[in-house]
Chains A and B, each alone.
Chain A
Amino acid sequence: MNFLLEKQLNLLDYALASLWRRKLKNLGIMSVFAGVICLVASFQFLTASLTATAQDLLAEAPEIVVQQMSAGRQEALPLSYLSSLEELNGVRTVAPRIWGYYFSEISGANYTVLAVDPSVMPKGDRLFQAVEGQLPSGPGEAVLGSGVAADLKLAGRRSFSLFRPDLTLKPMQMVGVFKPDTDLLTADLIYTTPDAARDLFAIPADHCTDLCVYVANPREIGTIAKKISVILPGTRVLTRPQISQTYRVVFGWRSGFASICLLSALAAFVILAWDKASGLSAEEKREIAILKVLGWQTGDILLLRCWESLIAAGLAWLLGCTAAYLHVFWLGGALFKPVMLGWSVIHPQLRLLPVVSTADLLLIFTMSVVPYLAATVIPAWRAAITPPDAAIR
C-alpha cells in the first residue's frame, strides 16, 4: 500500500516537474482552457440561477390573465366582461389592469406603465412594503422603478411629463420608488393610478388592457380558464402554468443557441489539444522511449500522462468554475449581461439566487476535462506501446 502511494507520488512529482519545465506553454494552455470553461460555466450558472429566481419570484403571478383579441392582436377590453366573469363559480376576484409600453424618445428606453387598483389584488394591502415613499392616489401620481427613475434623470425633482398619443404632455408626479430588492421585477415600471394611465394612453374609461382572474381553488385553474374561453370567445385566456412554460421556451431557445456556440468553443479547444498531442514531438517520443527502456511500464507512462493532463485540465476546471461563480454572483454576470439583456437601455441589477448544482459542475467536467484527458493520453499510449528500441538510437 505504502509502495503504491509512494509510486503515485513519484509519478505526480515527475508530472508536475515536467509541466513546470514547459511552464510558459502549459500555463498558457491552462489559462485559455480555464477561460473557456469559465465562459461555459458562467452561462450555465447564469441561466440556472435566472430560472430558479424566476420560478421563485413568479410563483405568485396571476392565476389567469384574460385578454381581448382582434385580428390576431391584443386590444383593449371592455369592462363589461368583468361582471360575467365574477358570476362564474370558483372565481375569487377579477382585477382589471391597464398597462402598456412607453417609449422614451430621449433615451431610447422602454418603460412599462402599469395601473391597477391594489385593493382588489392579493397582498395589495401590503404593496407599501415594496415601495419607498407613498403609493399613487391623486391624479398623475406614480411610483417609479429604479431604472426608470435613473433614466428620467430627475435629479431631486419629483415631477416629469410623458407624451400622450396626440403629443400633448401629461404631467406626472413621482411619489415613491420601488425598493432595490425588487429591482429584478420592477426596474422598468411606472406604477400609477388607472385614471392617469387611461389618460396617458387615451384608453376609453370603460376599457382596460387585461383582466387578472384569481380562483378559489388553484387546482381549478385549468377548468375555469376553459369556462372563460367559452363564455368570452373573443378572448385569449392565459394560465400561470402556460406563462411559465412560454417563459421557459423563450429562454430555452436563446440559451440553447448560446450553449451551442460556447460548446463549439470548448470542442475547438479539445480538437486543438488532440491535434497538438497526437503529433507528439520527437523529443516527447524519445522521452517515452527512454523511460520505457529504463524499466517504466506502459501503464506507468500512461499514469504519468494522466497526471499531467488531470493536473492541467482539473486545475483549469476548478479555476474556471470558481471564476464563473465570482463572475455571475459577485459581478452580476458582467460579461453576459449584454447578451442576456439584449439592447435594453434599462438594465436591472442582477442580484441572483446563488444556485450551483452538482449536476452542472459534473456536466462541465465531463465536457471539458474528460475529452482533454482522452485527447492527450491516447497519443501517449500509442507512443508507449511501440517498442522503444527504434526511438533512442
Chain B
Amino acid sequence: MRPSLLLALLLLAIGILDVGLLLQSGQQRAAWPVRMASAGIATEALGLTDLCIATEARYTRHPAVSDPLAPFMDHPGGLEHFPTGSFWAYPWQHLRGASL
C-alpha cells in the first residue's frame, strides 16, 4: 500500500470524526432553544444580568452593580482589571495581618 493512501485513510478517519462532531453540534444547536427555555425564563423572571461564571468576583457575576472602579476595590488583590495588575503583583506584605 502506498504511504499516500495510508495518509488519505487517516485523513478520512479524522474527517468522519469531525463531520460527526459537526452534525452533532448542529443537533445540539437545534435543541438549544428548547434546553435553554427554562434558563431564559429564569433570566427574565428574576432580572438576571449575568452568567454565573465567577461567583467570587462580583464584577463578573454582576456587572450591574459595577461602578466604574468600585468593584475592583472590593478584593484587596483585585488589580487585575487594569493592565498593570497583569504584569505586576500587589505588594502582598501590605496585606499580611489584614483579615480577608
Contact = CB atoms under 8 A, between A and B. Distances in A.
* Chains A, B in direct contact (C-beta < 8 Å): yes
Contacts of A340: 53-54
B67 A110 contact: no
Interface in B1-39: 2-4, 6-7, 10-11, 14, 17-18, 21, 25, 28-29, 32, 35-39
Interface string A53-68: 1101110111001010
Nearest to A180: B38
A187 B55 contact: yes
8 contacts: A121-B46, A121-B47, A181-B37, A185-B43, A186-B39, A254-B80, A311-B7, A342-B60
Q: How large is the interface on A (under 10, 10 to 19, 20 to 34, 35 or more residues)?
A: 35 or more
A247 B51 CA distance: 10
A123 B70 CA distance: 32
Interface of A: 9, 12-13, 16-17, 20, 50, 53-54, 56-58, 60-62, 65, 67, 69, 72-74, 95, 97, 101, 109-112, 114, 116, 118, 121-124, 126-127, 129-130, 145, 147, 178-179, 181-189, 191, 210, 212, 236, 238, 243, 246-247, 250-251, 253-254, 257, 311, 315, 318-319, 322, 325-326, 329, 340-346, 348, 353-356
Contact of B56 (A58, A110, A118, A243): A110
B76 to A, nearest CB: 13
Nearest to B68: A72
Q: From B41, B55, B59, name the one whose CB has the most chain A CB atoms within 10 angstroms.
A: B55
Contacts of A57: 36, 39-40, 43, 51
Given A16-B4, A185-B51, A127 B45 contact: yes
Contacts of B28: 329, 353-354
B41 A123 contact: yes
A185 B45 contact: no
A353 B32 contact: yes
A145 B45 CA distance: 15
A329 B46 contact: no
Contacts of A101: 58
B42 interface: yes
Contacts of B67: 69, 72-74, 236
A16 B42 CA distance: 56
Interface string B74-90: 00000011000010000
Interface residues of B, number: 53
B17 to A, nearest CB: 6
B55 A188 contact: yes
Contacts of B52: 112, 145, 147, 183-189, 346, 348
B47 A12 contact: no
B70 A130 contact: no
A318 B57 CA distance: 36
A212 B61 CA distance: 17
Q: From A123, A185, A322, A356, name the one whose CB has the most chain B CB atoms within 10 angstroms.
A: A185
A50 B55 contact: no
A309 to B, nearest CB: 14
Contacts of A246: 63, 66
Given A58-B50, A73-B70, A243-B64, 13 more contacts: A12-B4, A13-B4, A54-B50, A57-B43, A73-B67, A121-B46, A129-B38, A186-B39, A186-B52, A345-B56, A353-B29, A354-B25, A354-B29
